[in-house]
Amino acid sequence: MIIRRGVESDLPGMKQLFAETITEICKKDYTPEQLQAWKSGVDNHQRWEKVIKEQFVLIALSENKIVGFCTLDQGNYIDLLFVHQNEQHHGIASGLYALMEEEALRKNEVTLSADVSKTAKHFFEKKGFQVVKEQIVTVKGINLINYKMQKNIK
């Protein structure tokens, strides 16, 4: 596996991975309507352009195929962390996360935060994050539960 900085040409693969992961990995925690609303974010091209241009983006590759990605916004907010459905539990998310924490420390950040799905909550807890609050996020008129989580890194 190779981890490298993300570039604009990675966007189609990132968006595909985002939608497929939500569909397959998160289905045990969310209803079909919730999944559909959540993954509709793939169509917000302006947001994805902003992610690739303004955030610290890391891409995990295996055999030249994107198997995971993670983004860090404003030096201390983990915005996106997704791993391909067939690559779960292979250390990809942990590897990406570790590099994000290193980047935050390089920027002299003292905390990391993330808005985390039910599906990802356990992963973030294992990395030392704590739930600040449970949230209800409304996407396209559909309510989704997620968690504001935070970790002190210094």
On the question of pLDDT at 16 being above 90, the answer is yes
Tokens coding 99: 């590099």
DSSP notation for 84-114: -GGGTTSSHHHHHHHHHHHHHHHTT-SEEEE
Query: What is d(CA 68, CA 84) in angstroms, rounded to the nearest whole number?
Result: 6
Query: What is d(CA 119, CA 5) in angstroms, rounded to the nearest whole number?
Result: 25
User: What pLDDT, on the 0 to 100 scale, is given for residue 67?
Assistant: 98
Domains and CATH numbers, the chain: 2-110 (3.40.630.30)
| Mean pLDDT score, 74-103 | 97
Tokens coding 153: 């890194």
* Res. 154 pLDDT band, cuts 50 70 90: confident
Question: Percentage of the chain surpassing pLDDT 70?
Answer: 100
| Mean pLDDT score, 121-140 | 97
| Mean pLDDT score, 80-94 | 96
Asked if 82 contacts 116 with a C-beta cutoff of 8 angstroms, the reply is no
pTM of the model: 0.96
